[in-house]
Structure 1
Amino acid sequence: MMQGLSTAPLLPTMPSLTSAKLNKIPMPHSPDQPAKATAARPAAAWARDLGELLKLRLTTLVLITTMAGFYLGKTAATPGLLALAALLGTGLVAGGAAALNQLLEIRADARMRRTRERPLPGGRMDERDALFIGTLCSGSGLVLLALTCNLLSALLAALTLALYIGLYTPLKRISSLNTLVGAIPGAIPPVIGYAAASQRLDLFAAVLFALLFLWQMPHFLAIAWLYRDDYAAGGFRMLTLHDASGHSTGVKSALYALLLFPACLLPALCGLAGWTATSACLLATAAYAWTAISMARHPSPRSAKTLFLASLAYLPVILLALVLDKALD
């Protein structure tokens, strides 16, 4: 009875899928490989990706420390506009370094949950564009510092860039000491600001470097422990890689935090800062060290996050104390 019923109106003819058309169907990229950059995108989306490529939040922290160093190094004869040049030059170098770092780590970032959606591994930005942006920012920042501030500040910025890209970045895959090495370029920005304003390096510049270096260690150890599995997936050899309990990470963090006490005392003992500012720094250091000791005693994700948050509060407090000490002197 059904043989004479045509199926044409019910089942329209489907177009054949040739191999050429199949190639145009977007396929999910492997977690081990970065996705290919997509076509033109809205300007707002591209700007957001540019900000992420340049790590604007981290660069902002770099600028805060640079500005503090500049103020502590300036004299009555230091031109006010010089601060703007120092900030712009240092910020460009920092942003360029961040872009070049992500370019070198694109495949590792593609394997890590916290970084796989960055512009490069996420396929939203072309590698050649990242190379151009990173090189342009870094190069123009160095030139700006050399021409408007002084050669010393430009050389310090160049040293920061070389250590960060040439040593720290490849060392992350080779040695767990990469965190110690990475803390060196991270501690130089306030020294760049200080040198731009004072045109010299002295004991106060060394104190600023020591404070930033020691502050970074508990800060980054807390991050590395919280994301140790992610770093392992990316092939990075972190100090926290084999510390499942978190006790060793807490002990190391506490030791570096305790070393901040003599670093904070040094400016007052050498007549570089008053005792009011020094007392504020010591109180802040006591609170910071306590969070690190707490992690050593009771290691957990919660205590590690508390240490991380304490590190974010600590740095502005001590820098503000030193700046106010000079402003009110």
Structure 2
Amino acid sequence: MNLYLELSKARLTTLAAMTAGIGFWLAAPAEWLFGKLLLTLAGTAALGAGSAALNQLLEKEADGRMNRTKGRPLPSGRISEGQALTFGVAASCTGLITLTLLEPLAGGLAAFTLISYLFLYTPLKRRTALCTLVGAVPGAMPPLIGWAAARGELSLWAWLLFGILFLWQLPHFLAIAGSHLEDYRAAGFKMLPVVDLEGRATSRQILLYCLALVPVSLLPATGGFAGGFYFGCALVGSLAFLGTGVVTARARSARAYKRLFFGSILYLPFIFTTLALDKVILT
């Protein structure tokens, strides 16, 4: 069981399900079915688990070259390629079928997420530093899936959730790459911190995306979708994250990148959770 949890990248899958659930909650009408939310969470989690397993199958050789990933089930030999393929296909199909039966639009968004993650982002990691931008698109899809599952359509506010998650991913993944430069070089991944030897372009992009998150994260409140509670929390959280980005951009050290990474994994749940709580306060 633990092997398949590792293969599923359980923490990332949980994050995807959480953001899909919050997208559902924010879009849900006054009267909604709890069972529909559970199916949305289950479908998104199955999709995330399957795509993670298939991604690791495609990157088995590269994972074996990196200290941070060589202990994963496939490169360590604890699970066979056939088992990983079977699990990945079964989980992905389960997620796609569940979400499609729940709401066709949600299923279509899920299919786009799976295809773009496996067949665009994954191969581009070996070819261009732009892969992070491409990968941030499927990574930001779960709130749209959740919103679509609740309403059967996408509004401007749904795309705003997408935008927050999209922008957040860029400093988050740049921080991971900056913390593991030698690993990424060994694997042949052309992430920006790997090809940007002096770190100037990486620093500029970290600052750009952290700065952009400040006004974008406040838009739900300034646009009337959320209230004062969310506005205050988002302002404090986004400025704190920006401050961490400024420190990282100046230092350009592995330690600073790790600090930014930990800041990012605190920031996103904080923003999405306060946005969900704000709906409770407003109602």
> What band does the TM-score fall into relative to the shorter chain?
over 0.9
Cα deviation, residue 270, structure 1 = 2.2
Structure 2 residue 87 is matched with structure 1 residue 133: yes
Per mean C-alpha deviation after superposition, the further-off stretch among 212-221 and 300-309 is 300-309
Matched, 1:160 2:75: no
Q: Alpha-carbon deviation of 1:245? A: 4.6
Task: Give the superposition deviation at 1:247.
Answer: 4.3
State the distance in 1 between where 2:145 and 2:43 align.
10
- Tell me the distance in 2 between the aligned counterparts of 1:200 and 1:75: 13
User: How far did residue 58 of structure 1 move?
Assistant: 1.1
Match of 2:140 in 1: 187
Q: Aligned partners of 1:80, 1:117: CA distance in 2, in Å?
A: 39
Cα distance in 2 between the residues matched to 1:247 and 1:311: 20
Aligned residues: 282
| Distance of 2:186 and 2:257 partners within structure 1 | 20
* 2:98 is the alignment partner of 1:144: yes
CA positional deviation for 1:113: 1.4
Query: For residues 256 and 21 of structure 2, what CA distance do their matches in structure 1 show?
Result: 31
**Partner of 2:248 in structure 1?**
295
**Counterpart residue identity of residue 277, structure 1:** Y
1:213 aligns with 2:163: no
Offset from partner CA, 1:194-227 (integer Å, 9 cap, x none): 1111221011101100000001111110101111
Amino acid at match of 2:58: L
The one-letter code matched in structure 1 to 2:86 is F
TM-score under structure 2 length normalisation = 0.96
- Residue 252, structure 1, aligned to residue 202, structure 2: no
Aligned pairs for 1:77-116 (under 5 A) are 77-116=31-70
What amino acid is the match of 1:99?
A
Tell me, which stretches of 5 or more residues in structure 1 are unaligned?
1-46
- Provide the rounded CA distance (Å) in 1 between the counterparts of 2:240 and 2:201: 20
Deviant stretches of 4+, over 6 Å: none
Check the 8 A contact 2:179/2:255 in 1, yes or no. Answer: no
Q: Is the 8 A contact 1:251 1:292 kept in 2?
A: no
Length-normalised TM-score, structure 1: 0.83
Instruction: Tell me how far apart the structure 2 counterparts of residues 174 and 243 of structure 1 sit (CA, whole Å).
Output: 14
Which aligned pairs between 1:1-329 and structure 2 lie closer than 5 A?
Answer: 47-147=1-101, 149-329=102-282
Q: Which amino acid aligns with 1:125?
A: I
- 1:57-82 deviations in Å (ceiling 9; x for gaps): 11111111111111111112221110
Distance 1:49 1:162 in 2: 24
Deviations 1:246-265 (A, max 9, x none): 44323311110110122123
Task: Give the root-mean-square deviation of aligned CA atoms.
Answer: 1.2
CA–CA distance in structure 2, aligned partners of residues 203 and 321 of structure 1: 19
Q: Distance in 2 between matches of 1:232 and 1:182?
A: 19
Runs of 5+ in structure 2 lacking a partner? none
* Identical-pair percentage: 48
Alpha-carbon separation, structure 1, partners of 2:279 and 2:8: 32
Question: Counterpart amino acid of 2:204?
Answer: V
1:274 and 1:48 map into 2 onto residues whose CA distance is: 42
Aligned mates of 2:199, 2:190 — CA distance in 1: 16
Aligned amino acid, residue 242 of structure 2: A
